[in-house]
Chains A and B, each alone.
Chain A
Amino acid sequence: MKRFVFALVALCLIVGVVAAAPKTKVKIALIVESTVDDKGWCQAMHDAITAVQKKYGSALVEYSYSEKMKPVDAGSAARQYVAKGFDIIICHGAQYKNLVLEMAEEFPKTTFAFGTSGEIGPKNVFTYMPESEETGYVNGIIAGLVTKSNIIGLVGPVDGGDAARYNRGFILGVRAVNPKANVQVAYTGSFGDFVKAAELAHTQIKAGADVLTGSAQQALGALRAVAEYKDKNIWWLGQDTAQLTIPESYKVIAAASYAYEAVVEQLIDKRQAGVLGGEVLPLNFANGGFIYKFNDKVGPVLTADIRKAAEKALADITANKITIPWKDVK
């Protein structure tokens, strides 16, 4: 009971401090390169904004979005949003950086945000950065304990941004529980080439990998390749919880996801407090920026011990008991 009351008080504090309802109406616009129902990168941000909108009501939070915006086209969309009096314009992708910096100078009263990026922007630009070494670390712990061949495959998109952090966290997680295991890291060079990701996953598996992971949209291609080894003990750890709801989920032991609500709420709060930008907003387990789910239907591969080890890592990371020196991994 004591614990429950404590948790309740803590929750109230968090909600009270982090997520106060907007005092006045706030208008948020989202610009994405793919679509808001892509079950991945863009949808995660869209879902977060709609969740925040639902929480406070559309009278307080107005929301509009533009899809399939290449960085070249995004400028005109952003200008229209400024003209319509939008307060916060989120350009969801590091590719919009130059555009955002240009627009921010032109429209100093509007708050712009782009990510993922760890750079500190001008005074009306927020950036957001998932500290995805945390999700990578937990996935790595499971991978290190599950592997029998001691070969683990990592299907990366490019070695940059949150993918780089995820990969390094993953390697550290594996090392923490199984120093003998070898993580084979390779990149497709693309965020969206499913076919190449599948090819890379097959290459990893033929080289002996029995646990694989990967991030970005392309990872789905790799998961589909893993699912082709239906009766073999080859497993997948996801960096997107949507992978737990698709037919191939029988290969997914666990998956993490970004919950951008934390970023959206911070954006609203800070703007209403008069801070228009100039900060990096982190996403981590401690601020509720990540969701982690185990797949109970995956079968005996997820033993009680493995689950316990992963849960302990999750709790330690959330409580800041362990640090993940991802920058030390080459």
Chain B
Amino acid sequence: MNIFAFITNVLSIGIPFSVSLLLASTGEMFNQRAGIFNLGCEGIMSMGAFLAFMAPHTLQGTALEPWANMLGILAAMLMGGLMGMLFALATVTFRAPQGIAGIGLHMLGWGVAGTLFRFFVGGVTGIPGLKPVFLGMNALAYLAFLLVPASWYILFKTPWGLKVRAVGTYPRAADTMGVNVARTRYQALIAGGVLAGLAGAYLSLGQAKMFADDIVAGRGFIAVALVYFGRWNPFLILGGSLLFSIAQSLQLAIQVQGIAFPYEFAVMLPYVLVILVLAFAGGSTVRGPAELGKPYNREKRV
């Protein structure tokens, strides 16, 4: 195989596989910019993947079939928003520790999606999934890439984006200026949840075209890491998602080519790469949201 075909193959497989990471980490970026890190991303993705799968699965052969994928995506986004709201209730209103609450949300989403799937479907069933529209990628993938400049614009050029950044950096000052900290954090968490739900929908509808308990397989946690990797900036997060996915497809392609290299190391490659970049990016002048991870209590003296 010539080198050009090799590179084309690696890219044509790697780029579509970056989409779910990109969506989830863009959502997580909104959460973290508002000062909340949501480790429950994986759980929201599981629920999103399940609901997006359920719509085409149950509507097969009905009058609604042409709309099934769309309905599935909407259901996934709605559920993502609701789970984001639930997380906001726990971490913003009740000021629960974010790490623990996030792990709780992860287990809730993962467990409920698996149980409902088992109850209503069970076993293994495929769905037709999303059709490619251009260059082998579906419409949702292009939407995800368009979301990158859109998120950048929202975050840095709109009043709402300024509020989000303010409540994540110095909520007390934002509060003094009349910004409703709790409401803004709720909004950011709901937005993040919607995107995580969409990321899950992409996994089941766009990639695997099926659902299984462990379909997300740790991608929600990688998305959280990619936000740090991307220094809370949508364009850098896009770079991180692409780097990770292309490294993934590259290691698979290397294995397939039969190059003598222990497969255990090949499988590790994408993760090692992210750790290396994180380590070297440590000296970056870009600082994360200063109040990340701290609940805000107006009554508390500091």
Contacts and interface: CB of A to CB of B under 8 A. Distances in A.
Given A39-B123, A224-B126, A206 B13 contact: yes
A153 interface: yes
A218 to B, nearest CB: 9
Q: Contact residue range for chain A?
A: 35 or more
Contact of B125 (A189, A202, A227, A246): A246
A203 interface: yes
Q: Contact residue range for chain B?
A: 20 to 34
A203 B9 contact: yes
B203 A195 contact: yes
Residue with the highest number of chain B CB atoms closer than 10 Å, among A195, A196, A227? A195
Classify the interface of chain B: helix, strand, loop or mixed.
helix
Given A207-B1, A220-B210, A246-B126, A186 B13 contact: no
A206 B208 contact: no
Given A39-B124, A195-B203, A195-B215, A188 B267 contact: yes
A221 interface: yes
Interface in A189-221: 189-190, 192-196, 198-200, 202-204, 206-208, 217, 220-221
Interface stretch (B228-236, B251-259, B282-290): B251-259
Given A35-B118, A206-B9, A246-B126, A159 B213 contact: no
Interface string B197-223: 000000100011110111101010000
A26 B174 CA distance: 69
Residue with the highest number of chain B CB atoms closer than 10 Å, among A200, A217, A242? A200
A248 B126 contact: yes
Interface of B: 1, 9, 12-13, 17, 118, 122-126, 203, 207-210, 212-215, 217, 219, 248-249, 252-253, 255-258, 263-264, 266-267
The 4 closest A-B pairs by CB, nearest first: A189-B267, A186-B255, A206-B9, A193-B217
Interface of A: 34-35, 37-39, 153, 159, 182, 184-190, 192-196, 198-200, 202-204, 206-208, 217, 220-221, 224, 227-228, 242, 246-248
